[in-house]
C-alpha cells in the first residue's frame, strides 16, 4: 500500500513537470512564429537577420531515487481482557407480615343499678262537698187588681228557698309511692380482643451475579516499520537548447 502511494506521488510530480514543459514550449513556438511576421512588415528588400537564443526544452530522463517504504511485521503481544461470568450468591432477607391474634385482658366497668322501692306517704287533697242553704230574696209578682178583672199589677214580695252549694273541704289519705334507688357497682371481667402482631421470618435467596474476571490474552499485532528503497523513476527535466530566430526590427 505504501509502495503504491509512493509511486503515485512520483507520477503526480512527473505530470506536473510535463505540463510546465509543454507550456514553455508552446510559449517559445508562439514567439518563433510571431517574430518573423512582425519583421516582415518592417524589413527591406536586403534579407532577414537571425539571432541565437537559448530556450528550455523538456526531456525525459531516468533517475534513481531513495524512497521510504512502510512495512508491517507480526509480533505476539499480551493484553488484559475483562470477561464476565455468573456467580451464585446466597443472601438472607427478612419477610414481614402482620397477623391478628387473640389477646385476653381485664375489663373494668362501672355500672349504675336502679332498684324500685315503694313506701306509704300521706297526701292532702281537696274535695267539693255539697251543702244545703236557705236563701231569702224578693221577686216581682203580677197580680190582678182587686175589683177589676181585666187589670193586673206588679208587686214585690219576699220569698225563701233551699239551694245546694258545693264547698271545698281538705282531706288526708295514704298513698303507695314507688321510687327508683340508684346504686353504683364496679364489675371486673376478662374479655378477648384481636390485636395486630408483626412477625419477622428470615429466608435465603440465591441469585446469579455477573462478576468481572481479568485474564491474559496473547494476540498477533501488526507493527509498522520503515525501510529505505531505491527506485528508478522517469523525470521530465528542462534542457537548455540554442536556436536561431529572426531578429525583430525593434
Written in H, E and C, the secondary structure of 16-84 is HHHHHHHHHHHHHHHHHHHHHHHHHHHCCCCCCCEEEEEEEEEEEEEEEEEEEEEEEEEEEEEEEEEEE
Residues forming beta bridges with residue 96, ordered by sequence position: 200
Looking at residue 17, what is its pLDDT?
52
Position 227 scores a pLDDT of 92
Nearest by Cα to 249 from 69, 51, 43, 109: 43
CB atoms within 10 A of CB 21: 19
Distant-in-sequence, close-in-space partners of 91: CB < 8 Å, separation ≥ 6: 204, 205, 207
Beta-strand ranges (E) seen in the chain are 50-144, 152-246
Q: What is the pLDDT of residues 192-241, one digit of tens each?
A: 889 999 999 999 999 999 999 999 999 999 999 999 999 999 989 898 99
Range with lowest mean pLDDT among 30-39, 143-152, 180-189, 219-228: 30-39
For 126-138, the pLDDT digits (tens) are 989 888 888 888 8
| Contact by Cβ (8 Å): 226, 117 | no
Q: What percent of the chain has pLDDT over 70?
A: 80
Q: Is the pTM above the cut of 0.85?
A: no
Q: 206 is in which domain, residue-wise?
A: 2-246
CA–CA separation, 175 and 173 (whole Å): 7
Residues 143-154, mean pLDDT to the nearest whole number? 77
- Across residues 62-91, what is the average pLDDT? 91
- Indicate whether 168 pLDDT > 50: yes
Mean pLDDT (whole number) for 163-168: 88
Task: Using pLDDT thresholds of 50, 70 and 90, give the confidence band for residue 147.
Answer: confident
Between residues 26 and 103, the one the model is more confident about: 103
Q: Say how many domains are in the chain.
A: 1
Could you tell me which of 72, 22, 21, 15 has the C-alpha nearest to residue 233?
15
Q: How many residues does the chain have?
A: 250
Q: How far apart are CA 145 and CA 153, in angstroms?
A: 6
Nearest alpha carbon to residue 114 among 21, 33, 188, 181: 181
Whether residue 42 is predicted with pLDDT greater than 80 in this model: the reply is no
Amino acid at each position: 500500500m505504501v509502495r503504491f502511494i509512493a509511486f503515485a506521488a512520483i507520477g503526480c510530480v512527473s505530470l506536473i513537470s510535463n505540463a510546465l514543459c509543454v507550456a514553455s514550449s508552446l510559449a517559445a513556438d508562439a514567439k518563433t512564429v510571431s517574430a518573423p511576421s512582425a519583421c516582415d512588415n518592417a524589413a527591406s528588400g536586403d534579407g532577414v537577420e537571425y539571432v541565437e537564443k537559448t530556450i528550455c526544452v523538456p526531456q525525459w530522463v531516468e533517475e534513481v531515487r531513495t524512497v521510504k517504504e512502510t512495512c508491517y511485521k507480526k509480533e505476539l503481544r499480551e493484553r488484559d481482557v475483562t470477561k464476565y461470568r455468573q456467580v451464585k450468591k446466597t443472601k438472607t432477607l427478612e419477610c414481614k407480615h402482620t397477623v391478628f391474634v387473640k389477646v385476653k385482658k381485664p375489663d373494668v366497668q362501672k355500672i349504675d343499678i336502679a332498684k324500685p322501692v315503694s313506701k306509704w306517704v300521706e297526701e292532702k287533697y281537696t274535695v267539693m262537698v255539697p251543702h244545703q242553704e236557705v236563701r231569702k230574696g224578693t221577686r216581682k209578682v203580677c197580680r190582678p187588681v182587686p175589683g177589676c178583672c181585666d187589670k193586673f199589677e206588679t208587686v214585690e214580695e219576699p220569698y225563701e228557698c233551699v239551694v245546694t252549694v258545693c264547698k271545698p273541704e281538705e282531706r288526708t289519705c295514704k298513698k303507695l309511692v314507688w321510687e327508683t334507688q340508684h346504686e353504683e357497682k364496679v364489675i371486673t371481667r376478662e374479655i378477648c380482643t384481636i390485636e395486630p402482631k408483626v412477625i419477622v421470618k428470615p429466608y435465603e435467596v440465591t441469585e446469579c451475579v455477573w462478576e468481572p474476571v481479568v485474564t491474559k490474552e496473547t494476540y498477533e499485532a501488526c507493527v509498522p516499520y520503515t525501510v529505505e528503497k531505491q527506485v528508478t523513476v522517469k523525470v521530465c527535466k528542462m534542457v537548455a537548447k540554442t536556436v536561431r530566430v529572426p531578429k525583430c526590427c525593434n
